Structure 1
Amino acid sequence: MKPPQRGGGPEPQLLTHREPDYDEDVNDDPDLYDEADDSAPLTPDDRAWRRKKVWKRVRRGGYVLTALMIIGPIVAFFVSYQMVEVPNAQTVSASQQQVVTLKYGDNQMLSQIVPADGTRTFVKYDQIPETVKHAVFAAEDADFMTNPGFDLGGVLRAGWNQVGGGAGGGSTITQQYIKKATGDDEASGLGGYTRKFTEVVKAYKMNNTYSKPQILEAYLNTIYFGRSANGIVAAAKAYYGKELKDLTPSEAALLGGMIQSPGRYKDEEYKHRRWDFVMNQMVQKGWVSAAERASAQYPAQIPVEQARPSAIEGPGAHIQAYVLDEIFEETGLDVSDLKRKGYTIVTTIDKKAQDAAQAAITKVMTGQDPNIHPGMVVVNPTNGEIMAYYGGENGTGTDWAMAKQEPGSSFKPFDLVALLEQGKGLGETYDGTSGRQFVPGGPKIRNSGGDSSCGKECTVALAMKKSVNTVFYDIALNTVGVKAVANAAHQAGVQSQLGGPDGNQLDANISIGGGNTQVTTVDMASAYATFAANGIYRKPHMVKQILTPEGKVFWEADRSMTTGQPAFDKTDSANNAKIARNVTESLLPIPKSSNIPCADGRKCAGKTGTHQYGETEDNAKAWMVGYTPSVSAAVSMGAEVDGKQMPLKNNKGKIVYGSGLPGQIWQEFMNSFLKGTEKQNFPTFIPIGKKVDENDGDDDKKKNDKGSSSTQQTQNSQTDNPGPGGGHHNDPSTDQSTPGNGGPSGPGNGTDPPETGDPGDGIVLPGLGGGGRGHR
């Protein structure tokens, strides 16, 4: 064989070997150069070669930079898209304050709680009229329904404007919503570009996440329109005093135009210019015809001062405060929670009852000392709803309907409840003479004016009618015990702590509503409502429902509030009803004997009460509480100057008793509110314990009608004159050993003679926000 050929020929070309490119040199590798060559003079060819090499590197850098400029933003956009979160309408509404609306039980407006930044009410997309949508599109984003959430040309123009020191602009509706929802409105410097980029990413993501109707709904419920109006619903009311559904195209055009610069709502020239622009845009897009445009008039607007609801004042402010407290107690929601959601609160306040209550107070108190403060609460016995509430004309001052005060003799029905629970009743007899000393060395308990006409065999029925202190003091101290009286009051519905701050300082003064016995007007209206409801206790409440902005029920009063439960005997419903009805039987004669009967022979039950002012002959407190089967009303009254208690005296200088100013307010309300309604009867009376001879001690059958003459004091304790010796209005003896808040002589409470003074005229009914003459 021939030996293999070695050497001589070229090696086979490697697969990676290639010919040099047209712009490459075979010696392009710097390692091929000898260091000695660097110092050699450059030939023209060398210089040309080096220039070619530099430009090659510049081109390569340009390619890389161009690639980065194209690919970088795409990558950044993709990464940002994954990281950003899109705010929805619910999230935004949770962070922004809205109007909280309070309504009467029949859905009429009662008041509004307006946030500091203005009004805001949410509305759903399908509740927004087409003409409003078109006006907003025309003003802000004509291609909203088709664009991807941002306008690239607009974004570039905005960036160029920022470079030149101008404003941004060019945002779509979606971008504007993102900006308003996030609160990020930085417009200059690097932060402005960063914000704009993030805004575009969020707008694009929002466009892919939500439908156009959802985005528009979120937008129109969020943006500011000027005139303290946030959202399109509030704007319609702030500019025109109208509901959103009633807006004309012309009115909608102005609202759309105001979105751009809402702070210029007082600039008429600007508003006219924006209105013209939007109307023309609507014609161009075919949303308004040329004929409609030609006939359109610039819309008239309500005065600016009427645009934003003012904070509620007067009696309504006390109602509002009560509502907020009750909502917090029942749901844990405070006012900030309510504002974030924009809830509507349907109250139990009956407008007819509220108007009647305020009218009665105004009529009776006109011309009286403005330092006399009545409180009034009206409760529906059938469901526990508070129908009317008056805590005073000064809505930011003391709420006299919730102030704790001594109830005087109006507390005596609870003595009777405790007695009835022991199986004893109206036929029981006690020593009703005045000046009895129940504890050796203790105080002598007196009746009003030292009246002993009820005698040593005074029935409980007659003692209630005459408001005989000694009988009820005896019952509480020696028959049932003071704790049983307190328990009876709590069973009926009194929520206030009895017996002092710690609840343990109970004594026999509770029998006549003195000592440490203090209750609210709400307590008494509620407790008497239990008697009216035949022994069924229903928790008094002022909130019927809480509604979401969409009108759905978020919360409503528990059925247990309205259905109630037996108050006095939870195991025997018949006995429970009998206890309540026996109390009612004892109270039926009192309105008539106090000269404040219900009109047209309507059966009303009730009890007056007074509390003594220190050791004087005057009264510090006066009450009238009474009811029919359909309504229970309590009226309290006290006098105070600069926080200091004063004696209760009318404009003629006479002592105020329960049957006086409070009784007159109660009577006026009952007659007005119940006029024309069906006369209801209480259930059949079935006595507990001993029966009462219907003629026994019935003074009305023993005397001629002589009006309210003071000569009738021994027959009818409800006279204009408290009786010989001045009396202490059924208070304990003036011996200074009797404890009580009314002074050393103990609590006064009374038989409540009526007053004959003319309450005055010139009556003006104050609204919930005040403004009436009232009694001040």
Structure 2
Amino acid sequence: MSGGPELMTHHAYEEPAGYDDDLEPDGDGKPELSPEQRKKRRWKIVRRVAYSCVGLFFVLPAIAFVITYFLVDVPSPTEVAQNQSQAVTYLYADGSPMGKDVPRGGNRVLLTPEQIPDVMKHAAIATEDDSFETNSGFDIGGLLRAVYNQATGGTGGGSTISQQYIKKATDNDAPTLTRKWTELAKSFKMNQTYEKKDIITAYLNIIYFGRGAYGVGAASQAFFHKDAKDLSFSEAALLAGLIQQPGRSENPKVANDRWNTALDRMVKNNYITAADRAKAQFPTPIPLEDSKQEAGAPPAFVVQQVKDELAAHDIPEDRYYSGGFQVQTTIDPKAQQAAEKAATEALENQVDDNLLDALVAVDPKTGGVLAYYGGKPIVQVNGQDQAGRDWADTPQNPGSSMKPFDLTALLKKGQGLDKTYDGSNNRTFDGRVVRNAGPGSSCSQQCTVAEAMMRSANTVFYDMVLNDTKQGPVKEAAKEAGVKVKEDGGQSIISTKDNNISLGGGETQITPVDMASAYATFAANGEQRQRHFVAKVTNSQNEVAYEASTDSKAAFDSDSDKSRQIAGNVTESLTSVIGFSHLKCPNGHECAGKTGTQQHTKVAGEPSWAANANSQTWMVGYTPSVSVAAWVGGDGNKPLHGKGNSPIYGSTIAGPMWQKFLSLYLTGKPGEKFDKVDRIGGEVAPPPSSEVVTTTDSTPTDENTGDDGNPGDGDHHGGGHQSDESSPTTTPKHTKTPTSKETPPSKTDEQEN
């Protein structure tokens, strides 16, 4: 069939090119290849294998690397820095170091590129990654060396500085190929994203050097007690050398070997000259113990108060360790030392192991806490160390130290120190018998408020609150003065459900720090300032992150003059209490204050002496420059005793502790006196002398003092038990009559404390 397709079977067989007609077919009927053809066939196979290898080991990895490059996120040095836990540096009010609050992860100080000297950067580069300036995040030669070492059992890795930073920043050190692969991609991407100066800075801020120091900022202090900017090349070499073996930093041989290695590599990389190397001397670090002291912790209870305060001002717990903060506190080093000495010595020779104490001092002119002692931060329970309780911030019954707030409420009503009440003992109110602590704490049926405060006559203040001021205004007066109650976010409780508030009993419980703050308002002439522990906070860039306000407001009346007059009348009433309680002010200083005691409620099974025991005792008082609350008590309703199972009172331990603190703190400071104001609701009169009573014993002992009693209705349950001061048995050497409308009865051996 012409023009149609030809059948393949009709085609003649054509020999392929290169076939030899003389060759016989092989066993399969196929012609055998010639030597030339076999050679070409072999090279063709080699080329295909080579292409496959290139694709498998280069092209595909390159494609995978590109994909990984775009998928991974590079940790920003700024973000990583923000997430790093850094030590918070604490300073006293005068700028001297208090210590560091070091996070669990260790001590860190994050620096900027300008704060790290070139000599430190060069030392690290020479020691850890000499191609850092030119590599792209990883070093092929280093990788090959690492592979060889792994294969032969040698040591040494191939990680660049960028890779080490990625590992630390991501906190991922898993020995997997996936981790290593992504680490390479991230390192490469980081070098395309950030400048070398930022990468080396980030690395030196995060790497561990030993001695608990993370980052060169902390390490320079821990090893040489200096800022990083002041490091010499020799010191920088030691720190750089220790990066490889930080856990052996205290081994002299290891430290010396690593220092020599770093110096040799610095010479090799032309960072220092051979002459510098020859004259270099090993930089002996400061003693390890000194290093620990430098990074030692400030008082634990102060730290917690600071944390709470900062959390209320937009620096919560999750930011506290991230900002590289420096906290300048209001704590005065002299005051803090005096508080710790006075409080510690107060309990040294006591026979009752259940006694606890706390002392807080506040500056009336600023509201700043000058001293804070809340007890031992570490206590032993069943032979084990445990965190102690902060007794300075634990609410307790204030006893008679509540009475100045009773008086404040009365003064706000326009009635004052010249108002009279029946101050006799064993008065009945609504079927309840209220008694004074003893003959010395009672006065006539026409007892002025001024005298009643000096004697701490329970019947007068119970009557005053029950029938004149009512309970609500007393609570309001305490809050206006500075007591922070629970419903407002504080710790203290002031109950108005019954008249126990008048004598500081029942459910009314106030912390020592609140008492010091509230009395500071009286000392500040009625100007209330927010209590605070923090003066100023700066971050790692020395920018102010928070600064406390010392602004004041009139506490007891919108008219500042009226508030001043109220506070001045309270102060006038409290000046006579000091001498009456057998306490003394430092020479040249005027003091005002009030003791307080809460009686123990006896429970079944206790010894007979517990019936007369007390559970909480106070002395709260002030000068124009400092307000101090001293508390000595027990954990809850425990019967406390002195020698011979004698009761303890406000003037027994708390009073002398208060006096000791003032003596230590005010030594060398100029004398000071209170401003005088007109009396409210009566005639103008000078305050009772603070020397109403002087005795031959300026510091009472367990045997010669008494203090608070309680209402005598037998209601010792349900929070209905109040107490007040009983009397010291020391016979006064001489007495002076306090200024009042009524001449008080002669004192007996029992007096108010």
Contact 2:493–2:508 (CA<8 Å) still a contact in 1? no
Offset at 1:161?
3.7
Instruction: Give % identity.
Output: 43
The answer for the alignment partner of 2:747 in structure 1 is none
Residues 51 and 288 (structure 1), Cα distance of their counterparts in 2 relative to 1, 3 Å cut: closer
Q: Give the equivalent residue in structure 1 for 2:714.
A: 736
Instruction: Establish whether residue 579 from structure 1 lines up as the match of residue 566 from structure 2.
Output: yes
Specify the alignment match of 2:101 in structure 1: 113
In the TM superposition, what is the alpha-carbon distance from 1:389 to its structure 2 partner? 0.5
In structure 1, how many angstroms separate the alpha carbons of the residues matched to 2:637 and 2:428?
33
- Give the Cα separation in 2 of the matches to 1:460 and 1:195: 80
Q: Given the alignment of the two structures, is residue 486 of structure 1 paired with residue 469 of structure 2, yes or no?
A: no
Please tell me whether residue 646 in structure 1 is matched to residue 639 in structure 2. Answer: yes
Pick closer, same or farther for the CA change 1:348–1:407 going to 2, 3 Å.
same
**Counterpart for residue 524 of structure 2:** 533
CA RMSD of aligned residues (A): 3.6
2:422–2:447 contact (8 Å) kept in structure 1? yes
Q: Is the contact made by 1:660 and 1:753 (CA closer than 8 Å) also made in structure 2?
A: no
The AA in structure 1 aligned to 2:363 is: N
Match of 1:656 in 2: 648
8 Å CA contact 1:174, 1:219 repeated in 2: yes
Partner SS for 1:623 = strand
Q: Distance in 2 between matches of 1:163 and 1:540?
A: 66
Letter in 2 for 1:225: F
What is the correspondence of 1:244-263 to structure 2 with a 5 Å cutoff?
Answer: 244-263=228-247
Matched letter for residue 437 of structure 1? T
* Structure 1 pair 61–244 and aligned structure 2 pair: CA distance change class (3 A): closer
Where does residue 616 of structure 2 map in the other structure?
Answer: 621
**How many correspondences in the alignment?**
691
Counterpart amino acid of 2:214? Answer: N
In structure 1, how many angstroms separate the alpha carbons of the residues matched to 2:686 and 2:212?
A: 68
Output one character per residue of 1:431-458: Cα deviation in whole Å (capped at 9) or x when no partner.
Answer: 111111122xx22211221457621111
1:150–1:706 Cα change, 3 Å: closer
Is 1:380 the counterpart of 2:367? The answer is no
The Cα shift of 1:235 comes to: 2.2
Letter matched to residue 671 of structure 1: S
Give the 3-state SS of the residue equivalent to 1:280 in structure 2: helix
CA gap 1:445/1:309 in 2 versus in 1, 3 angstroms: same
Residue 600 of structure 1 aligns to a residue whose secondary structure is: coil
The 8 Å contact of residues 159 and 168 in structure 1, kept in 2 or not, is answered as no
How far off its partner does 1:390 sit? Answer: 0.7
The answer to whether the aligner puts 1:747 opposite 2:722 as a matched pair is: yes
CA contact (8 A) 1:506 1:516 kept: no
Is residue 403 of structure 2 the alignment partner of residue 412 of structure 1? yes
Per-residue deviation, 1:471 = 0.9
CA displacement at 1:169 relative to structure 2: 1.9
Closer, same or farther in 2 for the Cα pair 1:371/1:747, shift >3 Å?
Answer: same
Change in 2 beyond 3 A, CA 1:672/1:40: closer
Q: Which residue number in structure 2 is paired with residue 637 of structure 1?
A: 632
User: Are the aligned partners of 2:599 and 2:710 in contact in 1 as well (CA < 8 Å)?
Assistant: yes
Counterpart residue identity of residue 526, structure 1: S
Q: Does 1:683 align with 2:667?
A: no
- The match for 1:345 among 323, 327, 338 is 327
Which of 227, 235, 245 matches 2:211? 227
Cα drift, residue 563 of structure 1:
0.7
SS of structure 2 residue aligned to 1:488: helix
- 2:209 alignment partner, SS class: coil
Instruction: State the match for 1:764 in structure 2.
Output: none
Q: Give the counterpart letter for 1:603 in structure 2.
A: E
Contact 1:119–1:230, Cα closer than 8 Å, also in 2: yes
Q: Deviations over 1:282-326 (max 9, x none)?
A: 23344334343333333323455665569978x922222322333
Change (3 A) 1:592 1:267: closer
Report the Cα offset of residue 386 of structure 1. Answer: 0.9
> What per-residue deviation string (whole Å, max 9, x for no partner) do you get for residues 481-504 of structure 1?
122212211221122359x99966
Distance 1:436 1:644, change over 3 A: closer
Aligned mates of 1:73, 1:501 — CA distance in 2: 67
CA contact (8 A) 2:486 2:492 kept: yes
Report Cα offsets for 1:252-296 as digits up to 9, x if no partner. Answer: 212111212333435544333222222222233443343433333
2:669 is the counterpart of 1:669 = no
Q: Cα 1:210–1:433, aligned 2, differ >3 Å: closer, same or farther? A: same
What SS class does the counterpart of residue 461 from structure 1 fall into? helix
User: Cα 1:574–1:476, aligned 2, differ >3 Å: closer, same or farther?
Assistant: same
Match of 1:331, SS state, is: coil
2:499 matched to which residue of 1?
Answer: 508
Look up the match of 2:64. 76
Asked if the contact 2:80/2:169 (under 8 Å) is kept, the reply is yes
Shift of 1:425: 0.9
**Corresponding residue for 2:575?**
588
Spell out, residue by residue over 1:353-373, the C-alpha distance to the aligned partner (whole angstroms, 9 max, x if none).
111212223444432235321
Partner of 2:145: 157
Structure 1 unaligned segments of length 5 or more: list them: 1-6, 8-24, 29-36, 710-717, 723-727, 757-776
Read off the aligned partner of 2:679 and give its amino acid letter: P
User: Partner letter of residue 601 of structure 2?
Assistant: G
Q: 2:591 aligns with which of 594, 604, 608?
A: 604
Question: Per-residue deviation at 1:73?
Answer: 3.9
Identify if the C-alpha distance between structure 1 residues 45 and 359 changes in structure 2 by more than 3 Å, giving closer, same or farther.
Answer: closer
User: What letter corresponds to residue 384 of structure 1 in structure 2?
Assistant: G
1:323 to 290, 302, 306: 306
Amino acid at match of 1:144: F
Is residue 448–residue 751 contact of structure 1 (8 Å, CA) maintained in 2? yes
Residue pair 2:471, 2:496 contacting (<8 A) in 1 also: no
C-alpha contact 2:441 2:456 (8 A) present in aligned 1: no
* Pairing 1:167-566 to 2, within 5 Å after superposition: 169-187=157-175, 191-192=176-177, 194-304=178-288, 307-308=291-292, 316-331=299-314, 333-334=316-317, 337-369=319-351, 370-395=353-378, 396-439=387-430, 442-451=431-440, 454-496=443-485, 506-557=497-548, 559=549, 562-566=550-554
- Structure 2 residue runs without a partner (length 5+): 3-13, 18-24, 379-386, 603-610, 732-753
Please tell me whether the aligned partners of residues 330 and 533 of structure 2 are also in contact (alpha carbons under 8 angstroms): yes
TM-score, normalised by the number of residues in structure 2: 0.83
Distance 2:413 2:294 in 1: 55
Does the C-alpha gap of structure 1 residues 284 and 698 become closer, same or farther in structure 2, counting only changes over 3 Å? closer
SS at match of 2:438: helix
Residue pair 2:493, 2:510 contacting (<8 A) in 1 also: no
Check whether the contact 2:485–2:494 (CA below 8 A) recurs between aligned residues: no
Equivalent position of 1:10 in the other structure: none
Give 1:207 deviation, angstroms. Answer: 1.9
Question: Quick one: structure 1 residues 251 and 101, their matched pair in 2 at CA, closer, same or farther if it must change by over 3 Å?
Answer: same
CA contact (8 A) 2:484 2:492 kept: no
Q: Please give the alpha-carbon distance, in whole angstroms, between the structure 1 residues aligned to 2:408 and 2:495.
A: 21
Q: AA paired with 1:275?
A: W
